Structure 1
């Protein structure tokens, strides 16, 4: 979701730095808050704490702008926790499209409970009450998996301002669900890959309307608001006590963006993905679903693949190309999951609609967190 939120960021740390006194670094061992997170000393775990310790100065001198929190977990233990630019441990961070990854988790929970048969369930069958202005029999083939992989046949592309399904058009509609279900079938310009020609047999097109409908499918299937189901299926098992979910203009849970969570709670979602659906030994999501969710199903860009509403990026770690799964949202909000190193990293940011936002957060992850990893 794209909303411009201009504001002035003045912090005590920045003031102290400007006066010549370096800001105090975050604690080398995060606080134990009784929220289910074990904590450990980064130094004792072998992290390069000198590199991690550069973050306060880089925030204060403007190297990294509008970053509000950085939280890192290593092998199931929090080892770093820093808050900047008015961020705090209790702040509910608007993570925008990182919400989509939670919708994928809720789809798996709904399938586990038998409310949805499987990912091949036809989407339109869940909405017999929605009037279609221009019925097209081809839409009947659209499945939940098509929405989870951003590869449906709808003409919907948030990165194309001329697209019929661009998210900004949905936001001003009276009924978002009707807007999405009435989207036309896409065509293919000569320079655009057709599904049969694309890797994984799917033509990717980033479509928030599709993620919204995926959330609406879950809501219809479980017969309760998306926020209620999220609390039941994810938040309560993870010990998350506070969150915020948006709804559409007609009151349907917004599975495409705008949820708000504490940084430490966002890290729990990353740990859930990292540990095969388990949290502190309890199976919260089916392991098979997490495996499917974190399997490439579409080529999103030349340098990134897409699972079920999760991105897979590539970073160099010790000279080796290392896949990193991520929840990603406008403003540079991320939950990074590094399976090969058993690491989860959360970066929250308020650089909404800024061109530098995503490159900045990825640079912070690469140049600080990955650089500080314990040596093997």
Structure 2
């Protein structure tokens, strides 16, 4: 009996600690109908998003009146998995700047050069001297964006400030390094990293505990990218902005600052820009927007927030228009009667999954190549060799990296198999020091099939990151050609040549 009690307590503690780390189901839940939304409209949105080409949905959350009315996490994704947010991070930086302004630590008219006396060029131009914090917020620094700079040097501040400067405040030019400088300025004026300052002011009061941010080679949070956070926490932040900075009766972020963030500050060739936020084509709606399709959509006239995380090569306009055209026209101001459509939506939420690789479960080639080491030519993934082990309805791929580290990836037939690895996942950007500040392990889901007798296809999802890989092995005796597509990259993918070792 005592052993049973100990086992029960151990299981309880394990589940309790998992719940704490998961940070899910904290926002109140409701039915769509109770908040004036027909379930069939939500189902139509989910179905349409899942059918978009070159797109894999990781999560969608729909909120109205501060309540989550529907959400999907297509398997192998799950609500507890964090996600890197790319430029969605910028909107959080804007919030930090507003907090520093409210604390009288910073003014929008402060000159950028005054924060970096040690990093200024020998000759300071009139335009560099005139550049303000507001110019960084509105992407009008006057410095032409150099997206390769962060990839080839480690002194980002000095290199950025040494570039030619046009008259600031005039021309919009999107640049993540401008946001990085805002992160550095926040740290200089508060004595805390951007992340720690946001934890103190926003994240802790909102019980957002599972959050990290990449750190630059210079020791500052990267600002313009690198936020690592869960979908429900994104929804909380979106709700905070929708409520003009109010959270559970506390004014965490000044309402006047939120208004400025969400108001047009600069015209662009596309959507207009606020303070590190984009204005949407739907009237009054604004968004935080990150590469590969990371969005927080804030829709004030409907009192709604929609969060989408995904891996897509589209520009996101199709996703947003599905929200504008499929969902919002069906939203009403009065509660609706719950019917069969709600049951259908529940089934959709419970059974939603990304497609498995299509083909046969086994091939005669499996016996030939089982356990054989395939050495690879030099490649961007740092893979030195791969070894395939074939089991009933499962493939185990052992990866040996150039540094001789090894790990196994698992692939199921018509099911997702999960592996946990310490190695870093593929990343679509390559700044110096990337992943610094992000701790693993990383979870990797896999599916496999044989589309043809000499062709093995593997699908890889790094479910607590963002990246996806399509791996296709073409076997020809001792020669193996591995075709890799990363995140739906354009074209036919890169081909890595391999040799089978005896």
**Which band: TM-score by shorter chain?**
0.7 to 0.9
2:155 aligned partner: 175
Q: Which residue of 2 aligns with 1:335?
A: 296
Listed as ranges, the matches of 1:47-66 within 5 Å are: 47-55=37-45, 57-58=47-48, 61=51, 65-66=55-56
Aligned length: 312
Aligned counterpart, 1:144: 133
TM-score, length-scaled by structure 1: 0.77
If asked which structure has higher relative contact order (CA below 8 Å, sep 6+), I would say 1
Distance 1:148 1:59, change over 3 A: closer
1:27-42 to 2 correspondences below 5 Å: 33=24, 35=26, 37-42=27-32
- Shift of the 313–202 alpha-carbon distance from structure 1 to 2, 3 Å rule, reads farther
Question: CA contact under 8 A between 1:64 and 1:360: conserved in structure 2?
Answer: no
Q: 1:59 to 1:108 in 2, by over 3 A?
A: closer
Measure the CA separation in 1 of the matches of 2:311 and 2:217. 24
Partner deviation per Cα, 1:118-157 (whole Å, 9 max, x = no partner): 2111111111121425532321111110110111222x2x
Per the alignment, residue 66 of structure 2 pairs with 76
Equivalent in the alignment of 1:364: 322
Q: How far has the Cα of 1:348 moved from its partner? A: 0.6
**TM-score (norm. length: structure 2):** 0.59
Runs of 4+ in 1 over 4 A off after TM superposition: 55-64
Per the alignment, in what secondary structure is the counterpart of residue 285 of structure 1? Answer: coil
- Determine the structure 2 residue equivalent to 1:110: 100
Highest CA radius of gyration, 1 or 2? 2
Secondary structure of the corresponding residue to residue 167 of structure 1: coil
Shift of 1:371: 4.1
- State the alpha-carbon separation in 2 of the partners of residues 371 and 86 from structure 1: 31
SS in 2 for 1:301: coil
The root-mean-square deviation of aligned C-alpha atoms, in Å, is 2.2
Distance (whole Å) between structure 2 residues aligned to residue 230 and residue 297 of structure 1: 24
Of 253, 269, 276 in structure 2, the residue corresponding to residue 309 of structure 1 is 276
In structure 2, stretches of 5+ residues that fail to align are 1-22, 335-502
Match of 1:225 in 2: 193
Matches within 5 A, 1:163-202: 165-186=145-166, 202=170
- Correspondence for 2:246 among 278, 287, 292: 278
Change in 2 beyond 3 A, CA 1:87/1:363:
farther
Separation in structure 1 between the aligned mates of residue 155 and residue 43 of structure 2, nearest angstrom = 48
Deviation per CA, 1:306-350, whole angstroms, max 9, x where unpaired?
1111110112xxxxxx22110001011110111111111101112
How far the C-alpha of 1:33 sits from its partner, in A, is: 4.9
- Distance in 2, matches of 1:70 and 1:372, equals 18
